[in-house]
């Protein structure tokens, strides 16, 4: 199974992570997740692989975070995952998946541990 990167070409960390993988000769399936957002089910699988909670994967500085009231601590994981699926800008990036494991490319070198 090829390595998959959930990529945003406007993000410098995402571009740097993709370049690092390409420099190492890693064949990647690039998912431009703003154009093709992961489903709630796919996000749940990614969270399991990352060992993270939905709130840990959210970009809290995005306008949607405040607009949707996602800072409310009473919101459950299902609600937070649904918000990310509907508003993919909320998803931290880039996420690289390889061999049943996932890592966030912050810093880009962090993804090398799963290859």
Q: Which residues are catalytic?
A: 11
Of 47, 51, 45, 91, residue with least CA distance to 70:
91
Distance CA 105, CA 91 (A): 13
Q: Whole-angstrom Cα distance, residue 27 to residue 70?
A: 36
């Amino acid at each position: 199974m090829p390595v998959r990167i959930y990529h945003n070409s406007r993000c410098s960390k995402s571009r740097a992570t993709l370049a690092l993988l390409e420099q190492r000769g890693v064949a990647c399936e690039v998912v431009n997740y703003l154009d093709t957002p992961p489903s709630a089910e796919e996000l749940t699988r990614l969270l399991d692989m990352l060992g993270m909670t939905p709130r840990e994967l959210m970009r809290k500085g995005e306008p949607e975070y405040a607009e949707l009231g996602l800072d409310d601590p009473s919101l459950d994981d299902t609600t937070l995952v649904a918000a990310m699926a509907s508003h993919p800008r909320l998803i931290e990036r880039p996420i690289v998946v390889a061999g049943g494991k996932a890592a966030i490319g912050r810093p880009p070198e962090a993804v090398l541990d799963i290859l």
